Amino acid sequence: MTITDLSIYSLTNKLKNKEITAREVIESYAKNIYEKEKNIKAFISLDIKKALKKAEKLDKMDEKNGFLFGVPVAIKDNMNVQNCETTAGSQILKGYISPYNATVVKKLKEENAIIIGKTNMDEFAMGSSNENSSFFPTHNPVNYDYVPGGSSGGSAASVKSEEALAALGSDTGGSVREPAAFCGIVGLKPTYGLVSRYSLTNKLKNKEITAREVIESYAKNIYEKEKNIKA
């Protein structure tokens, strides 16, 4: 079993027990990105150097705290990450560098997750196939001739291809659940209001429109099947 085969639960346990290092984790996922990304195109932007720096910082910590300690996470590109570009899949926003983190990103960082990049999406989340990004289409890792679904197709594809262990997406009418189904992974839609939407790029400007975007999370296996986790 390789590092990228590990579940979130197993990975964080191994990191906290010092069986592997956070740097080794990022290097393993970076290898997959370099080998697969040219065919999948799950990411609009990547920052492996910054991810490695974060990993090295975590490795030096005496107390290895955080539910997501060392977990490589991808962020849908309609959510702000401080000092990173946010485009919402549109050339209109190309070059916009966010001065702050979305609440969900802030919380991920508080749990010592490692952000590796921003994922491709249908422009302004208006689409369900990820063919409508103004940068390039994303391909389904199961079959490159197929679409990964949308609008969070880049997030789903990044997890399925083991370019990230988990990823954030957004869902108004299936934009997380559909890509998860298309790519054969888990897509979780939490209860409305449970997760903050602060700093999520809003495509619904008309005040009469009441539909809301809700932050989601993708994960391959939070707990291994053979583990009995007590609530």
- Looking at residue 38, its amino acid is K
- Given this model, what pLDDT does residue 219 score? 59
Class of domain 3-219: alpha beta
Phi-psi region of 41 (alpha: psi -120 to 50; beta: other; left: phi over 0): left
Instruction: Provide mean pLDDT across the span 194-217.
Output: 56
* Residue 175: active-site member: yes
- Given this model, what pLDDT does residue 98 score? 95
Tens-place pLDDT, residues 44-81: 999 999 999 999 999 999 999 999 999 999 999 999 99
Q: Hey, what are 202's tokens?
A: 């809003």
* Residue 151: active-site member: yes
Q: Give me the catalytic one of 128, 133, 151, 199.
A: 151
Place of tokens 């989601």: 216
Q: Give me the catalytic one of 129, 152, 170, 175.
A: 175
- Given this model, what pLDDT does residue 190 score? 84
pTM: 0.88
Q: Hey, what are 26's tokens?
A: 């990022």
- Given this model, what pLDDT does residue 199 score? 81
